[in-house]
């Protein structure tokens, strides 16, 4: 394969990876977000302060949480730019580890564009967070991997962080809302604090169901084939294949897409014009490095395979 051909393949794959598939679930997130955003904007315009609210996006690893919120943030930033407004209404960050009061505060502060160079006490850091959120017109903070807020540390520490988030939402001068995205352990944090839980709109990215979501999985395969100008083999539409694909992707929407793109890459490398189940076999083998006896696209009783256990060594999961 020539360098030019390799370059073309990577371009195609990059294009496929950049593509966003809008779903009903994404529309729900978008609507809830815009509702809260409009409320806050209206309050600000009217000079009112009501306490801010929180959206919690909960789903398994690979369900598409980060991708969904990234898209929301990007579209919001683009529309701010179009309206020639310089402020960032949403600022996104990943919860640091360990998620102590001080460390979380420092990380938020940094994402607000303020790098604190000297060691300060937690209360001072959080005062700066309030100040800079207001200065920059930040209405929402997105904390990704929010389940890590309870990953380590004592219950007292966790309560201190949760209290601080609540007080930011209730700030009389500039309430800040939160978007918390995380795996199912995030529910533990929301249930742990009733006051926080009450202020949260939870949205769950449920795992795919091979039976009920078979058509969606088939639709994804077809759509990605069209995008990459490959024909889809008839067998890819069979119930058996879609069940295998959903299972190999641990029934997570985002991972189904990742596997489809990986199979397309195999097809392009092998200079094929048609996508077949064989390329999914190869893609799974390449990604997991596992023997054929553990490949859900090959073996008879594929349901006994735990794809998370096999793929967990990989960065993707």
Interface residues with ligand ATP (CB under 6 A) are 17, 19-21, 59, 61-67, 183, 254, 257-258
Which of Mg ion, ligand ATP, none lies near 170, with the C-beta cut-off 5 to 8 A by kind?
none
Which of ligand ATP, Mg ion, none lies near 231, with the C-beta cut-off 5 to 8 A by kind?
none
d(CA 142, CA 88): 12
CB of 16 to ligand ATP, least distance (A): 9
d(CA 308, CA 250): 6
CB of 67 to ligand ATP, least distance (A): 3
CB of 227 to Mg ion, least distance (A): 23
3-state secondary structure of 317: coil
Closest CA to 275 of 206, 210, 225: 225
Q: By rule CB under 5 A, what string of x and - marks binding of each residue 63-82 to Mg ion?
A: ---x----------------
d(CA 208, CA 255): 11
Q: Which two tokens stand for residue 180?
A: 């918390």
Cβ burial of 202 (10 Å; 0-12, 13-18, 19+) is: middle
Residue nearest ligand ATP (C-beta atom): 254
Residue with tokens 């996508």: 275
183 part of the interface to Mg ion, by CB under 5 A: no
Give the nearer residue to ligand ATP in terms of CB position, either 126 or 253.
253
CB of 110 to ligand ATP, least distance (A): 20
For binding to Mg ion (CB under 5 A), which residues are involved? 66
């Amino acid at each position: 394969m020539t360098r030019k051909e390799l370059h073309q393949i990577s371009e195609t794959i990059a294009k496929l990876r950049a593509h966003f598939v809008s779903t009903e679930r994404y529309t729900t997130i978008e609507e809830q977000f815009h509702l809260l955003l409009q409320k806050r904007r209206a309050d600000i315009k009217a000079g009112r302060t009501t306490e801010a609210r929180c959206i919690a996006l909960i789903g398994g690893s690979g369900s598409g949480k980060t991708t969904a919120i990234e898209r929301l943030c990007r579209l919001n930033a683009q529309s701010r730019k179009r309206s020639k407004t310089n402020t960032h209404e949403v600022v996104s960050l990943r919860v640091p580890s360990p998620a102590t009061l001080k460390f979380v505060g420092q990380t938020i502060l940094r994402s607000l564009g303020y790098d604190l160079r000297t060691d300060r006490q937690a209360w001072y850091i959080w005062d700066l967070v309030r100040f800079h959120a207001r200065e920059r017109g930040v209405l929402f903070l997105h904390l990704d991997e929010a389940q890590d807020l309870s990953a380590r540390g004592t219950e007292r520490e966790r309560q201190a962080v949760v209290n601080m988030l609540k007080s930011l939402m209730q700030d009389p001068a500039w309430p800040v809302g939160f978007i918390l995205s995380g795996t199912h352990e995030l529910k533990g944090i929301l249930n742990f604090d009733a006051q926080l839980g009450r202020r949260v709109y939870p949205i769950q990215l449920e795992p795919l169901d091979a039976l009920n979501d078979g058509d969606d999985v088939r639709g994804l395969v077809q759509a990605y084939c069209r995008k990459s100008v490959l024909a889809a083999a008839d067998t890819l539409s069979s119930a058996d294949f879609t069940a295998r694909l959903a299972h190999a992707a641990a029934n997570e929407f985002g991972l189904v897409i990742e596997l489809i793109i990986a199979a397309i890459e195999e097809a392009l490398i092998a200079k094929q014009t048609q996508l077949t189940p064989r390329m999914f076999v190869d893609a799974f083998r390449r990604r997991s490095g596992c023997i054929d006896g553990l490949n859900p696209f090959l073996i008879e009783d594929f349901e006994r395979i735990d794809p998370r256990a096999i793929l967990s060594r990989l960065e993707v999961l």
